[in-house]
Every structure is written in structure tokens, then in C-alpha cells.
Amino acid sequence: MLTLTSMLGRRFALTLLGAAGLAMATSGLALAEDAPRVIKIATAAESKPLSWGAIGHEPQGYEPDVLKAINAKLPQYKFEMEGAADIAQETGLATGKYDMITGGYYSNPTRAKQFLIPENPIGASMMKIYSRKSDEIKDMTGLAGKKIVPVTAGGGVYKFVTGWQEEHPDVKFKLTASSAGVPYPTRLNELNQGKYDALILPSNLGEATVIEQQKLDIVASEPVVVHNTYVLIHRDAENEQLAADVSKALGELREDGTLDQISEKWFGEKVGAYMTLN
């Protein structure tokens, strides 16, 4: 038969167990609430040195390094990156498979309607003219009468050059469109050998590295046009705060010189001075 003392002892023990269980549950809930939100990010898989790295390999390059710097400023998130082809990136972002994508993307009305785009850019795409040192071309007017490396039909370079030609009809040169994806190192060598007089490309593809490593007799002009590049974010209510946080971090990284340090590491030049603010 249970005595009064033993009954009180049992009730006290049960009370302690219940309190402990409640404390553990509360602690677990707090940990769950404090856990960083995982952000799935797709980076360009084959755009060295901007970004490269196939699925299963850690992405490398300018944009992955900037994303790491952003994440260091935003401990409430945990960025998880993987490389993906351009089409897979935008499709995955639209469906919500990815929360964010990077790949040298420009902002335009269509993208701004479909995705969230942080106000501050992640980088800058600087279009330059590459020519031989013996026949240096410093600006677009210097292309008159020159033989230019064919550019991808419908691509950014093609649109820029054809638009410039319409605005400057007095400067005559022939632009040939090409559907062949000839690697830019091959094009640089063709330019160096005299097959062409000029090559027009964004300078964030690693041209400076190829020119230096292969000791090519080629020089780059100052940028003839500059476009900001942006992080694209899946559009939903939850990600509006993410977009604001990413934009704030990017602004701080630009101000403290981090973006310049990273771009100098990968491109051999600082991009901060060329980035424009909205």
C-alpha cells in the first residue's frame, strides 16, 4: 500500500519529468525557429571565370565568391549552390526549384515582371574591343573598314553592335552573324594571327587570362558599353525580404571594396567603378 510520502514523491517526479519534456520541446522549437533558411542557388556551369562547376562540384568563379560574401553577411540564410545550364537556371527559378540564380544576367522589363531583382547589382558586363597592339582599336569608330570576328546571331554583342551601327551610319564596317559557338580563346588566336582585325566581347569571360598565358599580341580597349548584372530571385511573398537583404549586402560589399577584390582576383580588373546605381 502506497504511503502519503511515496505518493507525493511520485507526483513530484512526474512533475519534474513533465517540466523537462516541456523544456526540451520548447528548446527544440526555438532551435527550429533559429535555424537558417536554406536558399537553393543555381550558378552558371560553364562560364569561367564568371562561374563554372557542374552538378556535384562546388561552383567556382566571381559570382560564387560574391555569393559566399553575401551569405557571410546574412547568417539567417544558408546558401546552397550548384551549377546549371542557362535554360535550366531560368526554368528552375520560374518553377521554384531554385530560390536564386546568377549567370551574368541583365535586368529587363520581362525579367523584372517574372522575377524579383535586387536593386544593387552583383557585377558589371563590360563590352570591349580586342585588337592587335600593332593596329590598336580604341573605340567603335576605329572599326571602320575593319574585319570583325563573327558574333552570335541575336546575342548581346550582336544587338549592341547593330544598334550602334543604326545610330552611326557614317561609320562603315561589316558585321557577320554566326550560329557557331566558337570558343573565345580560338577567336583570340584568330585575331592574333591576323585572320580578323577586331573582336568584340564582354571582358568577364577570362580574355585577360588567355592573352597573358598564351602571350598574345592583343590589347583591350576601354569599355564601349557597360551593363549591370544582377541576381534573379524566385518571385513570391517570402522572397521579398530575401531580395531586400541581398541588395543591402551587395551595396555594402561594393562600398567596402570586396566586389573589387573579387573581380580583380578573377578578371584582373575592378568592376566597382563601372557599376551604375538605379
Lowest mean pLDDT among 23-37, 143-157, 264-278: 23-37
Domain limits for position 234: 37-124+228-274
pLDDT digits (tens, 9 = 90+) for 169-219: 999 998 888 866 678 889 999 999 999 999 999 887 778 888 989 999 999
Name every residue whose Cβ is closer than 8 Å to that of residue 59 and which is 6 or more positions away in sequence.
43, 45, 51, 52, 53, 81, 82, 83
Q: Look at residue 32 and tell me if it is in a domain.
A: no
Q: Look at residue 10 and tell me if it is in a domain.
A: no
User: What is the torsional sign of CA 231, 235, 240, 241?
Assistant: negative
Closest Cα to residue 268, out of 210, 199, 208? 208
Answer whether the bond into residue 150 is a cis peptide, omega within 30°.
Answer: no
* Whether residue 159 has pLDDT greater than 90: no
* Whether residue 242 has pLDDT greater than 80: yes
pLDDT digits (tens, 9 = 90+) for 3-59: 544 544 555 444 544 555 555 554 454 444 579 999 999 998 878 889 988 666 789
Core vs surface per residue 133-155: b (16+ CB within 10 A) or e? eeeebeebebbeebebbbbeeee
pLDDT digits (tens, 9 = 90+) for 50-105: 998 866 678 999 999 999 999 999 999 999 999 988 788 989 999 999 999 999 88
* Whether residue 277 has pLDDT greater than 80: no
Q: Are residues 170 and 55 in the same domain?
A: no
Q: Are residues 106 and 232 in the same domain?
A: yes
pLDDT digits (tens, 9 = 90+) for 123-144: 998 999 999 999 999 999 999 9
Q: Are residues 233 and 207 in the same domain?
A: no
Position 87 scores a pLDDT of 82
Q: Cα(100)–Cα(79) distance, rounded to whole angstroms?
A: 9
Q: Are residues 204 and 251 in the same domain?
A: no
Q: Look at residue 170 and tell me if it is in a domain.
A: yes
Q: What is the CATH number of the domain that holds 209?
A: 3.40.190.10
Q: Look at residue 15 and tell me if it is in a domain.
A: no
Position 261 scores a pLDDT of 96
**Axis-axis angle for helices 258-267, 239-255 (nearest 10):** 80
Q: Are residues 182 and 269 in the same domain?
A: no
Q: Are residues 55 and 167 in the same domain?
A: no
Give the residue, 25 or 145, on which the prediction is more confident. Answer: 145
Give the residue, 40 or 2, on which the prediction is more confident. Answer: 40
Q: Are residues 194 and 241 in the same domain?
A: no
Q: Cα(52)–Cα(60) distance, rounded to whole angstroms?
A: 6
Q: How many domains, the chain?
A: 2
Q: Look at residue 30 and tell me if it is in a domain.
A: no
Model-level pTM? 0.74
* Whether residue 222 has pLDDT greater than 80: yes
